[in-house]
């Protein structure tokens, strides 16, 4: 969940938009950034939601659920979905679960915790690889991003306005994308270090 410039939570339109597009081969970092389906991320995610799944199964009448089997089925269902509660529940229904509204709501909540797991693993990766920013606030840069509704990314010039060293990302303000420095609106797009190229003034 992100917040708007007014500090209000907004699940759909956020101050910072996540973007990852440029060539990894140009990355100055020593190792590839963990993705959302990285085994470390999946394991962290499944561990974090295991108790929630167990409590759901107990509430459905299974007093001693086979949690290894249950978590394997949840992991497979999430792997083949778009982390949407309805799609996950439908996959589980094909494996004998009861895909009612309670399961849909639960899976919708639990799926989003994948992003928390991914953030944690990325932060650990940054520390273990001792990754440092090559650029800083005020640097003029070029990124690739998609305009709202566009299918293809295109290059944009922007300016780094902050550095998130814990996750190795820059916040880049791009006026052509409607970003604003102050007040209400989007203040930038969050880009991985390896997806940002410095340009001359």
Domain assignment present for 177: yes
> Is there a single domain that holds both residue 51 and residue 23?
no
The number of domains in the chain is 2
> Is there a single domain that holds both residue 24 and residue 69?
no
Which residues, including other chains, have CB under 8 Å from residue 140's CB and lie 6 or more apart? 157, 158, 159, 198, 199, 200, 201
Domain assignment present for 139: yes
DSSP letter at 105?
H
pLDDT value of residue 82: 80
| Residue 58: pLDDT band with limits 50, 70, 90 | very high
Domain assignment present for 193: yes
Domain assignment present for 123: no
Bridge partners (DSSP) listed for residue 190? 18, 171
| Domain carrying residue 57 | 39-115
> Is there a single domain that holds both residue 104 and residue 72?
yes
Is pTM beyond 0.75? Reply is: yes
Q: pLDDT tens digits, residue range 138-184?
A: 999 999 999 989 999 999 999 999 999 999 999 999 999 999 999 99
CATH number (domain holding residue 11): 2.30.30
């Amino acid at each position: 969940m992100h917040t708007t410039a007014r500090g209000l939570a907004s699940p759909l339109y956020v101050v910072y938009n996540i973007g990852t597009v440029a060539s990894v081969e140009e990355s100055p970092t020593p190792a590839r950034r963990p993705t959302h389906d990285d085994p470390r991320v999946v394991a962290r995610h499944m561990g974090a939601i295991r108790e929630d799944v167990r409590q759901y199964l107990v509430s459905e009448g299974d007093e001693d659920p086979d949690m290894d089997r249950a978590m394997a089925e949840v992991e497979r269902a999430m792997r083949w979905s778009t982390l949407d509660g309805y799609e996950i529940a439908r996959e589980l229904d094909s494996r004998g679960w009861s895909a009612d509204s309670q399961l849909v709501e639960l899976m919708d909540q639990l799926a989003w915790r994948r992003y928390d797991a991914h953030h944690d693993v990325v932060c650990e990766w940054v520390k273990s690889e001792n990754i440092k920013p090559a650029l800083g606030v005020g640097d003029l840069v070029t990124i690739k991003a998609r305009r709202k509704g566009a299918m293809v990314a295109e290059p944009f010039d922007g300016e780094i306005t902050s550095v998130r060293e814990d996750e190795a990302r820059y916040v880049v303000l791009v006026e052509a994308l409607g970003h604003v420095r102050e007040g209400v609106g989007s203040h930038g797009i969050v880009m991985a270090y390896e997806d940002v190229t410095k340009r001359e003034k």
